[in-house]
Amino acid sequence: MSTSIKHAPLPWRRILTIAPPFVWLVLFLLVPFLLVLKISFADLQFGVPPYTALAEFKDEALSLVLNLRGYALLFTDSLYIATYLESVRMAVITTIFCVLIGYPMAYYIARSEPSVRNVLLIGVILPFWTSLLLRVYAWIGILRNDGIMNNLLMGLGLIDQPLEIYRTDLAVHIGLIYAYLPFFILPLYANLVKLDVRLLEAAYDLGARPWRAFFSVTLPLSMPGVLAGAMLVFIPSVGEFVIPEMLGGADTLMIGRVMWTEFFNNSDWPMAAAVTCVMVLLLLIPLVFFQYSQVRQLDARGGRRNG
Amino acid sequence: MSEIRPGAPWSGSADDFVRIDDVVKIFGDVVAVKSVSLNVGRGEIFALLGSSGCGKSTLLRMLAGFEEPTSGRIFLDNEDISSLPPYKRPVNMMFQSYALFPHMTVEANVAFGLKQEGVPRNEIHTRVYEALDLVQMGAYARRKPSQLSGGQQQRVALARSLVKRPKLLLLDEPMSALDKQIRQNTQIELVKILDKVGVTCIMVTHDQEEAMTMANRMAVMSEGRIIQCGTPQEVYDFPNSRFVAGFVGSTNLFTGTITVDEPDHVQIECDQLSRPLYVDHGVSEPLGMEVHVSIRPERIRVHREQPEGDVNWGHGVVSHMAWMGSYARYQIRLDSGKLVEASVSRLAMAQNDAPAVDEEVYIDWSDDSATVLPS
Amino acid sequence: MGKPSTRLRALVLGFGYAFLYFPILLLMVLSFNDSAMMTTWTGFSLRWYHELFNDRALLEAARLSLIIAACTATAAVVVGTWAGYVLARMGRFKGFALFVALVSAPLVIPEVVLGISLLLMIVELSDLFGWEAQNGAFTIWVGHVILSMAYVSVIIQSRVRDLDRSLEEAALDLGASPITVFFQIVLPLIAPALASAWLLAFTLSLDDVVVASFLTGPGYTTLPLEVFSRVRLGLKPEINALATLFMVMVAVLVVVANRIQNRKG
């Protein structure tokens, strides 16, 4: 007799509204990814497509061949393993610095007067919308041995030899932090700006000093924003291609580049697919965490009207 | 339409123009509405009174079509509307927040409903301005809602919900968004308009004064049920429970045992009073039964001298007293320790003659003042 | 008490914005540098702008990118708004978690993953149906729509959530069917968000390297692909001119979008 609002019987109108985008997403995101999974078990072959089919129906027998060559290589070859670890390491460092630089920025922007706040926000959004490619390209000019930074430092007499930053891991770090900083600031700002200032006032009223109030009130309440921003930085960083390619050295190991090389240079689609699948596997926990927090956030903000 | 004065007892037949039949609404584990049955007559203004969470809003939303009853049926003019979506019902609602479309002018707002019906353009124009004139907002037709005051928005919202000539009009806390000052006049104005149009109206409110001013009949709701239903004065004078007695107006409650049970009077012995309570009518409860008695503060008189007779009076000390403009509000601690509230009008007691705090006083009340409550 | 320390604030924001804008400003300044050398300033000149406008290949790529971007933005807004509305108004339906996961996946998934997935799907489909898979503008467009749709959904979903539900209910109460409510009440009220979302999808498409690389075909080069391949070969100062024009255009768009959003409130 009882009707739960959670899974109320769906009349046709509701289904017609929910189904099209759902089907679209399944068709264009889920299915393609499952294909990647499938191809990762295929074998390399010449021709179109450059991989074998998994299932073959021959002599009234259906044979399913799962080629594990790629995966075997990934899990045994120390270079691949090192690359994965290196990618995660770089992503972690990037995330940490984005938090360290981005949190104070987001905080001060959120606590500014509304008119100033708007301008400051545009100030963060503008780089975000401007071509990443071109901005990273600018860093090449800054970090090169004969680039702006070195010339400046040498001109000031601080160093005699140019600092070798371009084409090293350090350059990639700088590039990643630079590129992903707005990705951290914006969701955190959205969270901080909704923070009820009266909570802080209550804390002060009860005798807390500013730093204490920050750590007891602001920081805990901003955690969802911090985590959301951190995921938005960490997860894509692991698989970044453009920045390591443009700023990194030949020995900068990042899994995005490896996958690219397998695919474009070696035309080894199955291998590239395997690399991709392991990448997603690595990211599964943060991904699930991110999705879970999204669902939580969406659910919390919705809520029923009270009768 | 015959003369209907606001608050007058409903003289029309209690026909079931609106019939709510055993309606239940369950959300997950919460039973918001527990088997409510109600009839509202054609042209009647009916109020659902209760505090938040009592189920009145859920009931209203079911009438509007935004929720479907878990069980039970709703009939309007003999038509079962329980499963009809809101856009197919001859019901219109005036929302608590007015919900005027911010991107449309006042005129477009009012015309919106008629457009959905496919009414021809010139007729729309006539009816829109008719409705706006009814609420005296004709001059503001070209304005946007953001340019109107709260009271003006309310009138436009009313016009918008009346222009379609619905069979049933629903009002969701109509006065809650207005300042207290203008509420009373607005209430009377609103009732005049509704009577003029002759539309059947069900309103929801937590303000008992609003219900009593505007409604012909009302129902007091609590925890999903209707506790009592009747005209405002009936409910006030003859509450059927402690809850209603305390909710509609304030009251003093005593608990005692019936010691004399006669067809035309009863007497109740009570620990909280030194003298017995005498009620000048018979009750259905038997001798020896424990009952609750309600006496309204305005029925209690305050004196310095002991009253005559040996029933219906008490003795105590004034614990608090405040002049509320037209009357004095007393809080008196009786000898038994019980606190009693009394409202004494200025007519009955001159300002410089009023007993002050810490003075000894006597309270008494007439034989017809006390109401025995069934629960 | 309670106002953040102004000195600390100035320090943090100053450093932060300097970090964000230094490369951009550098490019803008250098675009007017007569010298091809980044490190020496030989005089104010517009020669790189001249070279830019004479660069046929680059201009062609730009034209293609703009067309794809406009088509992407339009399609992404349609699909993304639909998805965003479902997220905001349809409550918790069966498969809600999966829906959320799919909608927000492109926001976080590394682009190489998205690129290879979509390419494989196109290849398998053409294998299945026996088409001759000629990748090009169309396939790039598909990939970009999938990519930007996520961003559109997030923006629209957030905006619809903030919309007063009683407005939609009032419209229903007055006799409008749910579809009419969507087109006559919801859409007009979220219009500024739609415009912002369109612009965001536009810029995302205009800037994409990775997905386009996977999905492009012979004869089709987008602007970012062209720039990317040139940068690998060596720095060309006309890129500075391109960057400057780009940034000015984006700056104007962002400010305009912001004005619209604030005006409608």
Q: Give per-residue pLDDT as tens, C175-185.
A: 999 999 999 99
User: pLDDT tens across B310-330, in order?
Assistant: 889 999 999 999 988 888 999
Confidence (pLDDT) at A7:
40
Q: Which of C94, C120, C242 sits opposite A35 (nearest CB)?
A: C120
Q: At B321, phi and psi to the nearest 5? A: -150, 135
Q: For residue B12, name the pLDDT band (cuts at 50, 70, 90).
A: very low
Rounded to the nearest integer, the mean pLDDT of chain C is 88
Q: For residue A175, name the pLDDT band (cuts at 50, 70, 90).
A: very high
Q: Which of C167, C175, C177 sits opposite B101 (nearest CB)?
A: C167
Confidence (pLDDT) at A4:
34
For residue A195, give the DSSP letter.
Answer: S
Peptide bond preceding B85 in cis form (omega within 30 of 0): no
Q: For residue C235, name the pLDDT band (cuts at 50, 70, 90).
A: low
Q: Which residue has the higher pLDDT, C4 or B282?
A: B282
User: pLDDT tens across A22-52, in order?
Assistant: 999 999 999 999 999 988 888 877 766 777 7
Helix (H) or strand (E) holding B202: strand B200-205
Residue of C nearest to B101 (CA): C167
How is domain A77-267 classified at the CATH fold level?
MetI-like fold (1.10.3720)
The structural domains of chain C, ordered by start, are 56-233 (1.10.3720.10)
Q: Which residue has the higher pLDDT, C14 or C131?
A: C14
Give just the sign of the alpha carbon dihedral A65, A71, A76, A77. Answer: positive
Is pLDDT of A72 > 90? no
Q: Which of B25, B53, B70 sits opposite A306 (nearest CB)?
A: B53
A22-55 as b/e: b if 16+ CB within 10 A: bebbbebbeebbebbbbbbbbebeeeebebbeee
Whether the CB-CB separation of B166 and B199 falls below 8 Å is answered with yes
Measured N-to-C along each axis, helices C187-207 and C56-89 cross at an angle, to the nearest 10 degrees, of: 140
Q: Can you tell me the mean pLDDT for A297-305? A: 54
Alpha-carbon gap, residue B41 to B193, rounded angstroms? 18
Q: Does A1 touch chain B if contact means CB atoms closer than 8 Å? A: yes
Is pLDDT of A1 > 50? no
Question: Which residue ranges make up each domain of chain A?
Answer: 77-267
**A177: which residues sit within 8 A by CB, 6+ positions away?**
A94, A97, A98, A101
Is pLDDT of A92 > 90? yes
Confidence (pLDDT) at B10:
45
Side by side, the strands of the sheet bearing B45-49 are B91-94, B168-172, B200-205, B45-49, B217-222, B225-230
What single letter denotes the amino acid at residue B341? E
C135 min Cα distance to partner chain A (Å): 14
User: pLDDT tens across B101-143, in order?
Assistant: 999 999 999 999 999 999 999 999 999 999 999 999 999 999 9
ipTM of the complex: 0.87
Confidence (pLDDT) at A45:
75
Q: Which of C97, C118, C157 sits opposite A32 (nearest CB)?
A: C118
Chain B positions touching chain A (beta carbons under 8 Å): 25-29, 32-33, 52-53, 55, 57-58, 61, 67, 70-71
SS3 A173: helix
Q: Can you tell me the mean pLDDT for C17-27? A: 90
Q: Which residues of B touch C167 (CB under 8 A)?
A: 99, 101-102
Whether the CB-CB separation of C34 and C42 falls below 8 Å is answered with yes
Q: Does C12 touch chain A if contact means CB atoms closer than 8 Å? A: yes
Q: Can you tell me the mean pLDDT for B186-190? A: 92
Q: Which of C26, C65, C82, C108 to mutate to test the interface with A (most CBs of A within 10 A)?
A: C108
Whether the CB-CB separation of B220 and B248 falls below 8 Å is answered with yes
Q: Which of A36, A101, A242 sits opposite C120 (nearest CB)?
A: A36
Q: Can you tell me the mean pLDDT for C121-144? A: 82
Q: Which residues of C touch B64 (CB under 8 A)?
A: 169, 173
Confidence (pLDDT) at A304:
38
Is pLDDT of A53 > 80? no
Confidence (pLDDT) at A199:
87
User: pLDDT tens across B227-257, in order?
Assistant: 999 999 999 988 888 899 888 888 999 999 9
Confidence (pLDDT) at A241:
94
Chain B positions touching chain C (beta carbons under 8 Å): 64-66, 85-88, 91-93, 95-97, 99, 101-103, 112-113, 116-117, 160-161, 164
Confidence (pLDDT) at A307:
30
